[in-house]
Structure 1
Amino acid sequence: MSIAALRDENERLKALLAQTQAALSEHQGALAASEEARRRLEIILGELRREKFGAKSEKLGPDQYHLPLEDVEIAQGILDAAQERAEAVINGRSRNVPDQGHHRNRGCLPAHLPQVERIIEPASTLCPCGCGAMTKIGEDVSKRLDVIPAQWRVLVTRRPKYICRRCAGPVVQAHAPEHVVPSGLPTEAAIAHVIVSKFGDHTPFYRQSEIYARQGIRLDRATLGNWSGRACFHLQPIADHMRRHLAMADRLFMDETTAPVLDPGRGQTKKGYFWAIASDDRGHSGPSPPIVLFRYAPGRSGAFAEQFLDGFGGRFPAMRCL
């Protein structure tokens, strides 16, 4: 073998050694991730065993069951990723190439979501033999769920002023639109977002304030509360209309549920009650839409129910409080 051939063989062996060392490093990383996931699963199982067989004071509440179960899903994801990386190293294929034998797409994507297509072409579509351009014979299509994070913006409203230069006529300008917070910062869309986050997604004002601060928007909880209160004032006619509609219903369903309420001066919470008053005639082919109205009271006695039902003349198929 010539000296040149020996040099080429030496370079090839060096490249093979570097590739093997890189694969070994990835494999060791996958093993470390698997060990960490196994350790987390053992901790979670220990918590569940303590809940099952431990003392009553150590047992978890019903809402706390979700926390270890979420940790199980996280640990399972770590194991899945580690297994995929290890298989890619062993089989010598790219991690970005999915294994056709595994179906990891759980759930389905809603049809109403907009779709943005991107086409990834090869670096070159010319035949390496010099025959010319290649012919497309098909394509692989994959769909992934993407998100555009909530993006705040500044809505600038300009109202031009016009005047006739030939006469002393009046200045013409469009009227300023009315807002929930006159001369304030928020648009109605911003206030709606705050309200839905508070009452629909159970995100308190102080947490929302921290979330907005990450984008450089300084809004304290008092400001968010004031915005919501103003919106509630303007939404009150809708609630009044719903109550009048419920008063004309043939039948109502009513129940109460507890809710912790801040107790100023005591440094703790007290028990309050949300009363749900509902009407739903869809099961009886009724023409009216379903309505649910919530009322708050400090107790669950029948006096509160009578107060809420003032003016109602229908009947109750089911009612716990009276």
Structure 2
Amino acid sequence: MSRTEEQGEIPAGGSLAHRVPDLGGLELLLAVARLGSLGGAARELGITQPAASSRIRSMERQLGVALVDRSPRGSRLTDAGALVTDWARRIVEAAEAFDVGAQALRDRRDSRLRVAASMTIAEYLLPGWLLALRAQRPDTAVSLHAGNSTVVAERLLADEADLGFVEGLTVPTGLDSVVIAHDRLIVVTAPAHPWSRRRRSLAAEELASTPLILREKGSGTRQVLDAALGGLARPLIELSSTTAVKAAAVSGAGPAVLSELAVGEELAMRRLVRVPVEGVALARDLRAVWPTGHRPTGPARDLLSLTRG
């Protein structure tokens, strides 16, 4: 065993973290130099005097030199301790600058939130979540891009959004997800449509073979319906938003399949009528999504917590 190892010192070489005292120890040494008292330095830093003494001894073993002379009259730096203190001051000042810079990065991140959401979530769920977020983070500017589930995935993967919400059957490639809510698709028509007066439930086969007012390909609603029925007839009308599909159904243009979230008011006011369907499950999960391996932080993390609450 070498003389250095016998004295408890760290041999030269190896990790810098093993050879340089941590910031807590250097801050303690600076406080001792300023106050002339180990006990006073401990009180200033919110630690016990025995803990402060132990930290000084640990630094002395690590560096291989005595740093502080302790006596009943107080604590005085040794010549080596005074030199180490000068070096420590520069390190602590650099760490403070580092902390200021890191805080500036966090402030810049927290000043904005870019959200991409599929249409149903954007229209019927996100407004409430964003109001709650504004109460928590009044200084965060939020931008929302509404599109189908395919567009949401594209924006996330292109770093054009910080958090996304989708309604499809599967999670797009390259994204992680968590289920935040559940939804059900229902068949609706205007009161004057023959289906509104049916006494028997609509069979899945008849629904699949009937031209419907549908969302565009790539939408979560279209994906779920197509998968549940094993294929669809050529659309009666193809529209790019839930609101447009609903308006067309209310006008009497034909039957539509929409989220239960989207038609509550229309059903209550009898502007639309729900048509029971048998032999098909139209439930779906609503998910928050983000790029794989990049868990949401800052405002995106807070919004995600609100949706799950």
TM-score bracket for this pair, using the shorter chain length: under 0.3
- TM normalised by structure 2 equals 0.21
- The structure whose residues are more often strand, as a share, is 2
- The structure whose residues are more often helix, as a share, is 2
Structure with more contact order per residue of length (Cα contacts < 8 Å, sep ≥ 6): 2
